[in-house]
């Protein structure tokens, strides 16, 4: 039996270090705490300067209320705050901070200088150097507060060894500043990193203006949300406001979803599912919209005191709140294409209803067309094609080349038309590319007999007659070829560079991972006019470049994170391009071309379905024919 270890009361210094571990995990968190303090102090403009990802220096300057000189030493003590007086106040927190821990914790792990000058007073400063508090001294400073954090974690080698690269930390800091800038349009922000201006947004009155300043061009395509009228009578005082992107602007991650609860930015994770559900089927699998969603509710219905960094909060009626959000999004998307007002003053979703019909169908965004079916009572606007007779195949002898340049274009089915929304590319001659690898499935050697309706190939395959959809098959063949063709991912210099619109966060990530991007074949240049792509993998068309890079940058938000985007996009791009270059229905093929398609069909793993899951072939066994014609004895 060993003696029990005795319990002692830890000394203040040790307690401080334990607490500091939670509040200041990384420089970006320090920036968050200090920016929140400035906002709480009623600042009109906040200037943030960081050096080497914050590891060398973080300086946050504001023009807020300042700190009373007698309170300066106290501001460095744990659980010392001006924002809370008693336990009762905890039930209705109106400030971002209230725990009184940030400055004390930061001062334990850095050299922290607080300089402050309340209006009408003298400037004073105090320094806390890795836990050692100094004395209040005079300081030359404008009205407001300046907090400097130097050499964070320099005395904590263990913590330092867990830190990310400075460029990655800079991009996290940009994320923090952006999320606060979005939640507080009435405050101006200026962020510099190593003396370079990363973000500069003036104080504005309207949230729309802030969104423009932060999100750039795409803000113009956001829709203001509104709740269904029936929700007015629903129980609860909570209310959602905000903007969501049209379903054609999406991201691979939820990082561009900003959730504010009573003005406090919180983690978006708990809301993602409801948001996706609000979009119904309009979002592709695994995609997320861009959104700024603001929940207002009585202060006593939200508990912010559940997490040291306050990124997570607890809602008293969380289900009700989430369902309201889902309903508002669904209602907004359903009513948007027909209700011009619902663009809420953010232009871009133009007034469709007030325009002549021909113009309407042109300007309607692609997603709105797709969404037509579910629109309330609104008849789909469709470009009616005059029905043309299906072509009749002619004898092989009179066929010359593939081309289809005779422009036989009878009506496609509406689903077909949707499939080819992206088309506009010339079909690839099936004979033009190298054969795929070895024969890998158990299809027999096949012989084309004829083409029917310029769309189906009649094929003899041992004891079966196959009717093959030439488009579906070619699509599948092309998919396999594209998916495994690394040469398509080789860098290709673009004749004219493609402009790349990036917001501050994306720029920070770009700079953090520029080498990785280069190794993937991207050359991205910056000039006075902004960023542009001068070289990129050959497979990416000019119009795909910008969204692809945006997704990639999301993947790159943390060091070492897997680049899911690349694998997924290899798939997706092969998928899209497979359809684009495939021979179409109503396109005449000659026998060698048909032979080639059939030969390729034996070299793909899944010859029976096209990439959209539709069948490529209909099989008619000889004995079924015999049976039909009564040849069975
Ligand atoms: P909390 O924000 O939870 O109160 P902090 O440790 O972040 O705790 O700050 C302690 C106190 O210092 C605050 O309550 C506030 O009174 C004061 N303070 C900190 N930063 C500022 C600032 N930028 N302007 C004015 N007062 C500040
Ligand atoms: Mg604080």
CB 43 within 8 A of CB 144: yes
* Distance in angstroms (rounded) separating the CA atoms of residues 485 and 504: 34
Q: Which of 45, 63, 67, 98 to mutate to test the pocket of ligand 1 (most atoms within 8 A of CB)?
A: 67
For residue 65 and ligand 1, the question of a CB distance below 6 A is answered with yes
Find the angle CA(168)-CA(174)-CA(175) to the nearest 5 degrees.
Answer: 90
CB 585 within 8 A of CB 455: yes
Q: Residue 172 is encoded by which pair of tokens?
A: 């996290």
CB 599 within 8 A of CB 430: no
Nearest to 462 by CA among 620, 234, 580: 620
Ligand 2: distance of its center to the CA of 120 in Å?
A: 23
Helix (H, G, I), strand (E, B) or coil at 116: strand
Ligand 1: distance of its center to the CA of 75 in Å?
A: 7
Ligand 2: distance of its center to the CA of 84 in Å?
A: 11
- The helix-helix angle for 470-484 and 564-581 (nearest 10°) equals 150
Return the pLDDT at 565: 64
For residue 305 and ligand 1, the question of a CB distance below 6 A is answered with no
For residue 41 and ligand 1, the question of a CB distance below 6 A is answered with yes
Nearest to 299 by CA among 547, 93, 53: 93
How would you label 261-270 residue by residue, b for 16+ Cβ within 10 Å and e otherwise? bbebbbebeb
* Distance in angstroms (rounded) separating the CA atoms of residues 518 and 513: 9
Q: Which ligand is nearest to the CA of 73?
A: 1
Atom of ligand 1 nearest to the CA of 96: 2
Return the pLDDT at 514: 87
For residue 280 and ligand 1, the question of a CB distance below 6 A is answered with no
CB 62 within 8 A of CB 145: yes
Nearest to 573 by CA among 444, 484, 460: 484
Ligand 2: distance of its center to the CA of 101 in Å?
A: 7
Burial of 286 (0-12, 13-18, 19+ CB in 10 A): exposed
For residue 98 and ligand 1, the question of a CB distance below 6 A is answered with yes
* Distance in angstroms (rounded) separating the CA atoms of residues 553 and 547: 10
Ligand 2: distance of its center to the CA of 98 in Å?
A: 6
Ligand 1: distance of its center to the CA of 555 in Å?
A: 35
> How does DSSP classify residue 76?
T
Q: How many residues does the chain have?
A: 633
- Bridge partners (DSSP) listed for residue 621: 464
CB 271 within 8 A of CB 322: yes
Query: CB count, 10 Å around CB of 327?
Result: 19
CB 479 within 8 A of CB 575: yes
Return the pLDDT at 386: 40
* Distance in angstroms (rounded) separating the CA atoms of residues 572 and 580: 12
Return the pLDDT at 58: 98
Going by CA atoms, what residue is nearest to atom 16 of ligand 1? Answer: 82
- For the chain, the first-to-last Cα distance in angstroms comes to 93
Return the pLDDT at 569: 65
Going by CA atoms, what residue is nearest to atom 20 of ligand 1? Answer: 37
Ligand 2: distance of its center to the CA of 102 in Å?
A: 5
Q: From the centroid of its chain, how far is CA 317? A: 28
CB 152 within 8 A of CB 24: yes
Ligand 1: distance of its center to the CA of 68 in Å?
A: 11
Return the pLDDT at 374: 25
Q: Which of 19, 40, 106, 309 to mutate to test the pocket of ligand 1 (most atoms within 8 A of CB)?
A: 40
Ligand 2: distance of its center to the CA of 79 in Å?
A: 10
For residue 105 and ligand 1, the question of a CB distance below 6 A is answered with no
Q: Which of 36, 75, 114 to mutate to test the pocket of ligand 1 (most atoms within 8 A of CB)?
A: 75
Return the pLDDT at 142: 96
> What are the tens digits of pLDDT across the range 24-60?
889 999 999 999 999 999 999 999 999 999 999 999 9
* Distance in angstroms (rounded) separating the CA atoms of residues 498 and 522: 11
> What are the tens digits of pLDDT across the range 126-183?
999 999 999 999 999 999 999 999 999 999 888 888 888 899 999 999 999 999 999 9
Q: Which ligand is nearest to the CA of 117?
A: 1
* Distance in angstroms (rounded) separating the CA atoms of residues 320 and 525: 48
Ligand 1: distance of its center to the CA of 37 in Å?
A: 5
Nearest to 102 by CA among 122, 135, 68, 75: 75
Q: Which of 30, 82, 89 to mutate to test the pocket of ligand 1 (most atoms within 8 A of CB)?
A: 82
Return the pLDDT at 521: 85
Return the pLDDT at 378: 31
Going by CA atoms, what residue is nearest to atom 25 of ligand 1? Answer: 66
For residue 75 and ligand 1, the question of a CB distance below 6 A is answered with yes
Going by CA atoms, what residue is nearest to atom 8 of ligand 1? Answer: 100
Nearest to 276 by CA among 329, 348, 225: 329
Q: List alpha helices for 68-148, DSSP H.
A: 72-75, 102-108
Q: Mark the ranges of the chain whose per-residue pLDDT is less than 70.
A: 1, 337-426, 558-567, 569, 573, 613, 632-633
């Amino acid at each position: 039996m060993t003696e029990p270890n005795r319990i002692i009361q830890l000394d203040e210094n040790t307690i401080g270090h334990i607490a500091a571990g939670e509040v200041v995990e990384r420089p970006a968190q320090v920036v968050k705490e200090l920016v929140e303090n400035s906002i709480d102090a009623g600042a009109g403009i906040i200037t943030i300067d960081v050096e080497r990802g914050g590891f060398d220096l973080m300086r946050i300057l504001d023009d807020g209320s300042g700190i009373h000189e007698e309170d300066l030493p106290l501001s460095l003590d744990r659980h010392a705050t001006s924002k809370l007086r008693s336990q009762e106040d905890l039930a209705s927190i109106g400030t971002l901070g209230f725990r009184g821990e940030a400055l004390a914790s930061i001062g334990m792990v850095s050299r922290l200088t607080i300089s402050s000058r309340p209006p009408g007073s003298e400037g004073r400063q105090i320094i806390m150097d890795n836990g050692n508090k100094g004395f209040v001294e005079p300081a030359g400073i404008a009205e407001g507060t300046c907090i400097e954090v130097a050499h964070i974690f320099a005395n904590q080698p263990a913590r330092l060894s867990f830190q990310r690269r400075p460029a990655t930390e800079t991009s996290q800091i940009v994320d923090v500043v952006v999320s606060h800038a979005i939640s507080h349009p009435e405050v101006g922000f200026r962020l510099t990193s190593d003396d370079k201006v990363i973000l500069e947004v003036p104080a504005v009155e309207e949230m729309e203006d802030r969104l423009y300043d932060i999100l750039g061009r795409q803000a113009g395509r956001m829709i203001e949300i509104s709740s269904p009228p029936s929700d007015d009578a629903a129980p609860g005082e909570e209310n959602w406001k905000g903007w969501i992107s049209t379903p054609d602007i999406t991201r691979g991650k939820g990082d561009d979803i900003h959730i504010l609860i009573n003005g406090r930015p919180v983690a978006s994770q708990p809301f993602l599912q409801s948001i996706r559900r609000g979009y119904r089927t309009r979002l592709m699998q695994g995609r997320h919209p861009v959104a700024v969603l603001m929940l207002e509710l009585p202060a006593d219905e939200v508990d912010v005191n559940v997490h040291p960094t306050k990124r997570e909060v607890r809602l008293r009626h969380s289900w009700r709140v989430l369902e309201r959000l889902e309903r508002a999004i669904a209602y907004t998307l359903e009513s948007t294409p027909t209700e011009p007002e619902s663009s809420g003053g953010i232009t871009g979703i133009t007034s469709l209803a007030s325009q002549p019909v021909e113009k309407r169908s042109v300007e309607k965004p692609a997603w709105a067309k797709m969404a037509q079916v579910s629109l309330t009572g609104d008849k789909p606007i469709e470009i009616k094609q005059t029905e043309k007779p299906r072509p009749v195949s002619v004898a092989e002898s009179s066929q010359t080349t593939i081309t289809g340049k005779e422009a036989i274009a009878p009506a496609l089915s509406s689903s077909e038309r949707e499939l080819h929304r992206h088309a506009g590319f010339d079909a690839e001659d099936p004979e033009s590319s190298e054969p795929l690898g070895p024969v890998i499935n158990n299809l027999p050697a096949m012989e084309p007999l004829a083409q029917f309706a310029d769309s189906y190939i009649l094929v003899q395959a041992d004891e079966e007659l196959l009717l093959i959809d030439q488009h579906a098959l070619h699509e599948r063949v092309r998919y396999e070829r594209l998916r495994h063709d690394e040469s398509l991912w080789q860098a290709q210099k673009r004749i004219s560079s493609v402009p790349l619109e990036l917001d501050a966060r994306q720029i920070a990530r770009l700079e953090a991972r520029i080498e990785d991007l280069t190794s993937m074949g991207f050359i991205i240049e910056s000039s006075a006019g902004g960023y542009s792509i001068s070289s990129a993998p050959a497979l990416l068309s000019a119009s795909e470049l910008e969204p692809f890079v945006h997704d990639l940058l999301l993947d790159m938000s943390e060091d070492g994170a897997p680049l899911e985007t690349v694998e997924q996009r290899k798939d997706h791009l092969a998928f899209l391009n497979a359809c684009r270059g495939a021979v179409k229905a109503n396109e005449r093929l000659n026998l060698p071309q048909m032979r080639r398609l059939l030969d390729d069909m034996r070299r793909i793993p899944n010859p029976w379905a096209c990439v959209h899951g539709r069948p490529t072939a209909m099989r008619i066994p000889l004995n079924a024919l015999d049976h039909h014609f009564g040849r069975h004895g």
